[in-house]
Amino acid sequence: MSKKPLILVTNDDGITAPGILALIEVMETLGDVVVVAPDSPQSGMGHAITINNTLHLDKVSKKGEKTLKYSCSGTPADCVKIAVNEVLDRKPDLCVSGINHGSNSSINVIYSGTMSAAIEAGIEGIPAIGFSNLNYNWEANFEASKKYVKRITKNALKHGIAEGVILNVNIPDLEEKDIKGIKVCRQARANWKEKFDKRKTPQGKDYYWLTGKFVNYDNGSDTDEWALKEGYVSVVPVQFDLTAHHYMQQLNTWQLND
């Protein structure tokens, strides 16, 4: 009998989020599942790790549950690190992160705790996928998402993912019948135009709320933003090697050693 794949599940919305519950449900049909996720929401944490505080890890799976579940007091990246080093007895065949409540397309991949957890797995040499649904609502419907999560995960387990590559998957907030399919894309050139809402406390001290607007500067029809707008699931292969290889030759023309 063939051995089932071992799948590590994590997220940034917290271990009780509906999105991770939907992801666990799908993964349980594909392999043996272990969950290590934050004990509270960690959205926007990026690749932060805990170095100036202690970490707490609590087993939260109920008696009789086939899936081991742990909550961690740290960040999404912490969750993957502690799972690999303290929880699991072997390297997982796959790490999946999500399903995030909200988009992680384009530049959002930089800020995303969901994707940072997947990237941390990639750094550890574990094939990894981050899944996001464009609905930010806590009560979002993940039924359509589950179909595409399963399809993409089955392909990843069958074909493998190249070392150093992580898949960033975003799913439009549509009924299943309205999703046109899957597009492999590049990351759109877009950014946030930030604005700070300045207020005062009753004591007269200034404080700020960060707000902003997402602006897409990219008119290409091969981007994740285009695909999502057109009703497709977007799949973007990303990497944690941030070297601008194309610029190295020009940089070597500088008089750096004179």
Q: What is the mean pLDDT of residues 122-140?
A: 96
Instruction: Please say whether the beta carbons of 84 and 124 come within 8 A.
Output: yes
Q: Specify the pLDDT at position 72.
A: 98
- Angstrom distances, CA of residue 169 to CA of 70, 188, 235, 242, 250: 24, 13, 5, 20, 34
At 1, the pLDDT band (50, 70, 90 cuts) reads very low
Distance CA 119, CA 121 (A): 5
* Residue ranges at the known binding site: 12-13, 43, 100
Q: Which of 244, 186, 171 is nearest to 218 (CA)?
A: 186
CB 34 within 8 A of CB 72: no
Give the mean model confidence (pLDDT) for residues 58-82: 95
Residue 258: per-residue pLDDT: 79
**Alpha carbon distance, N-terminus to C-terminus of the chain:** 65
CA neighbor of 22 nearest in space, from 148, 109, 159, 115: 148
Domains of the chain, each with CATH number or no CATH: 6-188+220-251 (3.40.1210.10)
pLDDT of residue 76: 97
State the chain's mean pLDDT as an integer. Answer: 95
Percentage of the chain modeled with pLDDT above 90:
94
104 in Cβ contact with 224 (< 8 Å): no
The total number of residues written for the chain in this structure = 258
* pLDDT per residue as tens digits for the range 4-21: 999 999 999 999 999 999
Sign of torsion over alpha carbons 85, 164, 109, 69: negative
Please identify which residue in the block is written with the tokens 């602006």.
215
Q: Is the pLDDT reported for residue 140 higher than 60?
A: yes
**What confidence category does residue 63 fall into, taking pLDDT thresholds of 50, 70 and 90?**
confident
Binding-site residue ranges for a divalent metal cation: 12-13, 43, 100
Task: Quote the percentage of the chain above a pLDDT of 70.
Answer: 99
CA atoms of 68 and 145, how far apart (whole Å): 23
Q: Which helix or strand (DSSP H or E) is residue 77 part of? A: helix 76-82
| pLDDT tens track for 185-226 | 999 999 999 999 999 999 999 999 999 999 999 999 999 999
Helices (H) and strands (E) in the chain, counts: 7, 11
Instruction: Compute the distance between CA of residue 109 and CA of residue 153 in angstroms, rounded to an integer.
Output: 19
Confidence of residue 2 (pLDDT cuts 50, 70, 90): low
Give dist(CA 24, CA 34) in Å, integer.
9
Of the pLDDT bands very low, low, confident and very high (cuts 50, 70, 90), residue 104 is very high
